[in-house]
Structure 1
Amino acid sequence: MARKPAKQPVAQVAAPEPSAMPKRRSRAIGGIPIRFLLPNLLTLLALCSGVTAIRFAVEGRFELAVGGIIFAVVLDGFDGRLARYLKGTSRFGAELDSLADFVNFGVAPAILVYFWSLNWLSTFGWVVCLMLSIACALRLARFNVALDDPDKPAWAASFFTGMPAPAGAVLSLAPLYLGFLGILTEGHSFMRAIAAYEILVAVLMVSRVPTFSGKTFTRVPREFVLPFLALMVLFVVFLISYPWETLAALSALYLLMIPVSVASYRRHKRAKAG
């Protein structure tokens, strides 16, 4: 009688060690830290403010429109600093910030100036507004490229190349400040002078004129802390109580500081060369 073949022992597959198990991405488990989200939230709030300013401009509520753009400028000054302070900088945040800046400081001011004054110049007025928007886009693109320049000297971080986009937005609205103060009674009465001024702002944004940068100003000497706080509080009080006078004076002061920044840049350059 034939014998049945003996059963072969079943090979036991050892369970993989815990260390050999495929690891899930920690991002899928823990999510994105809040420190990455807060700066982007400020950027989106600034974008909402800029787009709402466009709506107010279309509706003819120019004071509210200017307020929306100024609020976007304030938020833009905080989102980048907040990201660096929280160590929450990211490529996504940088791209979002550039897109929001183009809308807030390139598109919204141009539309506001057009509806307030330059529409009386018909097609030429619209061309001037296009120049403002294009200059802002070129300015932002050049700024993003300059961030990756490895040959840029350390002292050059204290200067912008050309007028920054937020400053360009604030200065492009200077005719409206004067209009709200009654100095320019009607926007269409000075439309040619306003068009020439807006072209100057656009040229300054795309130029290579060095202007002071506040990005390196991160610490206040101990002996100047109280005067600095008092000055900031005084500025906020004037901005709330006399907004158009304060913004007009700030615009004039910025233009007057451009020759000073050029002289300072050349002095640093000569010292480096020597």
Structure 2
Amino acid sequence: MDKTYLEINKQSWDEAAHRFFGRNPLPDYGPLAPSEDELNLFGDVTNLNVLEIGCGSGHSLRYMDQRNAGELWGLDLSKKQIEAAKTVLKNCHSPVHLFESPMEDNPGLPTNHFDIIFSIYALGWTTNLDKTFANVNQYLKKGGIFIFSWEHPIYNRVSNENSTLLFNKSYHEEGSYYHEAWSEPAVMQQYKISTYINTLINNGFKIERMIEDVRLTKEDIQRDSNRWYSYEKAKALPTSVIIKSQKL
């Protein structure tokens, strides 16, 4: 992993954490994407041990608590996000364990312990996808479920210029790039769909389901549309990809 990138992103997320407090947590999977209420990928989580990779402000873990999950575990690179999550989760019924750590490292999480691991719009920040998926496999029980969502890799390859959609970069190009939307510099990763799927398979997972659908009701558009996630782009391109896999 690139320690420099991790240091850059940690500082950037500590600066930006307040902007993302409670934004698009479960049951949402991402802007203009179908929700868990519709997809039911988790099923019944009663008494299950769950871990969130990139837990942010803790609102998705609180959603798990409201659905009677067993143990709640979360890790996040940002100190500010972990502080926010501690506040959000302080009155949960379930035991809570939070770690300030990059997803590429194991900060002391138990192995073969979790029934479900999930990540909502965080996987694109990893500096080492293979190591991150290897960690997830190690944490899960045999037969455990891994669910994640992320911005669809084709979405930021296309720009909307005067109501015309144009490719601004090749879909085949992968690797690190600077995220330009924030005042503080941040480094994100670009992978193809096949890279996510093949890396999962190489790390001992089988793919159960992949979703690329969009939701363009008036309510969705009003809630999620902005200069980046726009109706014009979303009616032609998927905004998000959601993948459910199982540890073999």
Normalised by the shorter chain, which TM-score bucket? under 0.3
Please identify the structure whose Cα radius of gyration is greater. 1
Give the structure, 1 or 2, with the largest relative contact order (CA under 8 Å, sep 6 or more): 2
**Is the helix fraction higher in 1 or 2?**
1
**Is the strand fraction higher in 1 or 2?**
2
TM-score when normalising by structure 2? 0.23
TM-score when normalising by structure 1? 0.21
